[in-house]
Amino acid sequence: MADNQTSTPDKPITYSDGRATRLFDHFKREWQIYLMLLPTIVWFLVFLYKPMYGLQIAFKDYSIFRGVAGSPWVGWEHFQTLFTNDQFLRAVSNTIKISALNLLFGFPAPIILALLFNEVLNATYKRTAQTIVYLPHFISSVIIAGIVITAFSPTAGIVNTFISWLGFDPVYFLTQPQWFRPIFVGTGIWQEAGFGSIVFLAAIAGVNPSLYESAVVDGANRWQMMWKITIPSILPTILIMLIIRIGNVMEVSFELVILLYQPSTYETADVVNTWVYRQGLQSGQYDLAAAAGLFNAVVAFVLVMTANTISRRYSRTSLW
């Protein structure tokens, strides 16, 4: 029998040097790393896992006077109400449509930007351009919304000023439902594409330079090297980021939507998060809002699991 195993007629085989000892030695050796990790673990426990206790109000007739534990159970009643509520179904539809537009136009934007930056040879121009496109990410959503509202103002906005120069009448963009989605998606691309390109630039920096050298020897031009070397090399990173993006399909930017939309644009602008906000905080229907939030989370979980499974099966790249 191996040295690290002991047994007696009355006791099963155990590992005397054991995993517990090796685990203790590991913690003893790397305790500084775990100490730095501790605040993050506490944050997750307090702000993400502990609030899950309150999810049960989605299945209760919640009363703030009775509390979570004292409120009576009503089962699936709130979910039945949700799926017969036209406004909620409209919010789900708007969320999916806006997220689809974000995936179609917003997801490729940072990839294209990273590829373009990679082709810039002038270091000074490259750093300056990168700084300019990174800046909107660090601007508050309130300021971003203010810039958009000012730019599309029917009286003094730069967009309507240009339209007036062309001889057309001003357009009240932010009061017309058909314009909300293009403005919202375009604003999101402008705000986040530059910062999002950092991940892909880092992936490009990890491509083996000898591949490019071999391609130059074979007579490939820069366009061919981009298509045949750069993009295939960063494809795993692209797939990982796509899986994460799909998992956030139901999480349309709440701050920007609520700052830009108004009752006249609810038809195309109202999303699940803003509907939950109005029902929960403004109308006091916390149980119905919790049911909508739980539905949102379940859909997001299913989407990210599905995307991860498909990616792992067909590309051998996945989050786990």
Model pLDDT for residues 109-123, shown as the tens digit of each residue:
999 999 999 988 898
| Bridge partner list, 6 | 14
When pLDDT is averaged across residues 178-205 and rounded to a whole number, the result is: 94
Q: What local confidence, expressed as pLDDT, does residue 281 receive?
A: 83
**Structure confidence by residue, pLDDT tens digits, 307-317:** 889 888 877 77
Please tell me the least confidently modeled range out of 128-142, 170-184, 249-263, 306-320.
306-320
Q: What local confidence, expressed as pLDDT, does residue 26 receive?
A: 84
| Ramachandran area for residue 229 (φ above 0: left; ψ -120 to 50: alpha; else beta) | alpha
What is the bridge-based pairing of β-strands 11-15 and 5-8? antiparallel
Domain boundaries, the chain: 77-315
Q: What local confidence, expressed as pLDDT, does residue 136 receive?
A: 94
CA 64 from chain centre, in angstroms, equals 32
Tell me the range of 11-25, 185-199, 246-260 where mean pLDDT is highest: 185-199
Question: How many CA atoms within 13 Å lie on the side-chain side of 197?
Answer: 24
pLDDT band at residue 247 using 50, 70 and 90 as cut-offs: confident
147 or 283, which is more confident: 147
Domain 77-315 classification at class level = mainly alpha
Please, what is the average pLDDT of the chain? 88
Question: How many CA atoms within 13 Å lie on the side-chain side of 100?
Answer: 6
CA separation for the pair 133, 110 (Å, rounded): 10
CA separation for the pair 259, 278 (Å, rounded): 14
Tokens, residue 27: 């913690």
Number of Cβ within 10 Å of residue 284's Cβ equals 12
When pLDDT is averaged across residues 130-142 and rounded to a whole number, the result is: 93
Question: How many CA atoms within 13 Å lie on the side-chain side of 3?
Answer: 1
When pLDDT is averaged across residues 221-232 and rounded to a whole number, the result is: 92
Cα angle 275, 278, 284; round to 5 = 125
Tokens, residue 46: 């307090």
Q: Confirm if 110 and 194 have CB atoms less than 8 A apart.
A: yes
Does the structure show a pLDDT above 60 at 36?
yes
When pLDDT is averaged across residues 272-298 and rounded to a whole number, the result is: 90
When pLDDT is averaged across residues 78-85 and rounded to a whole number, the result is: 92
